[in-house]
Amino acid sequence: MADDASGHAWQGVFGRLWPAYRQWYVRDGSLARPSFLACRRALELHMPEFVPRWAKLAELAGGGDLAARFLSLWCPPAYDSACSQAIWPGHEPLLVRNYDYSSKLFDALILHTQWGTRRVLGTSDCLVGLVDGINEDGLALSLTFGGRREVGVGFGVPIVLRYVLETCSTVAEAAVALARIPTHMAYNVTALDASGARVTVHLSPDRPAQVTTAAVATNHQPGFEVSGHVYQTATIEREHYLLRRLTLHQEPQDKFIAAFLRPPLFSLAHERSRATLYTAAFRPRQKTLTYLWPNIQWTLDVNHFEPGSRHIYYPTD
């Protein structure tokens, strides 16, 4: 779906998805979430450039207090996912990722926006955020859950990815922004730009961000604690599998991408809400994003976007 500065297309999506998100946001009671003023102050402090767009979205959402608070994603309820991502070591910058999550909680929306000075294309989450995306400068971002259950004071990471793609052009700029913005849970964010520069930033609510040049991220962080999540998601096995592919032999990018469509990276764990919902391949020099499923491939261009749809069947969670 394409949306412009008016936000009218987004407004229709909000009307469709807000009832479910409202139920999730107030699951512990509305008083468990920060006040309107606290949300606004957090945005003004950490993402000042995004405040006018947040205010516009809140207006389009009806101007209500609860919707405005939700759209800030400041201290939302806890949630997690799985996911794998890696940067291909070939001649062209290429970031590939699997998004593993519950199909029932998935926006199932690819959103192309021009809310500010940059066109941004990515996978919508929480209406205002993205779980991955690319902007017109060729900066690509993708996230995985960091595997740690600590919850602190910070933003839900989807709005952080949105903000970085709206305001940054390069990996160097993205790394600075990612390291300074607090997140309420642990996440790994990998960034790649058209020059081939890369970074993976390990975000946590209770420790400083760790900025690395790691080419692979799954669902744990450096110096991680062994937990049930480690075993449930096979995060170490998936990381080792990707590292072997990167270091033991060279392969063409189509073969590298195809590996994400097979086990151990491709997950069928629908009963545990951690199945692979899609594979995505980001090509920063071409400014394109390709979504893949077994037997289906769909390429979109951030600078020449053509809206469309694909019908994907997911078994019931």
CB within 8 Å of 21: residues ≥ 6 apart: 70, 126, 127
Q: Quick one: angle between helices 8-25 and 51-60, nearest 10?
A: 90
**The predicted structure's pLDDT at residue 5:** 85
Cα dihedral 233, 317, 133, 81 sign: negative
Q: Which residue has the tokens 């594979």?
A: 279
pLDDT in tens, 237-260: 999 999 998 887 788 999 999 999
Tokens (6 digits) for 202: 């390990």
Q: Which residues on neighbouring strands pair with residue 54, listed in sequence order?
A: none
pLDDT in tens, 262-272: 999 998 876 66
Q: How sure is the predictor about 213, in pLDDT bands with cuts at 50, 70 and 90?
A: very high
**The predicted structure's pLDDT at residue 273:** 65
**The predicted structure's pLDDT at residue 271:** 66
pLDDT in tens, 123-178: 999 999 999 999 999 999 999 998 888 899 999 999 999 999 999 999 999 999 99
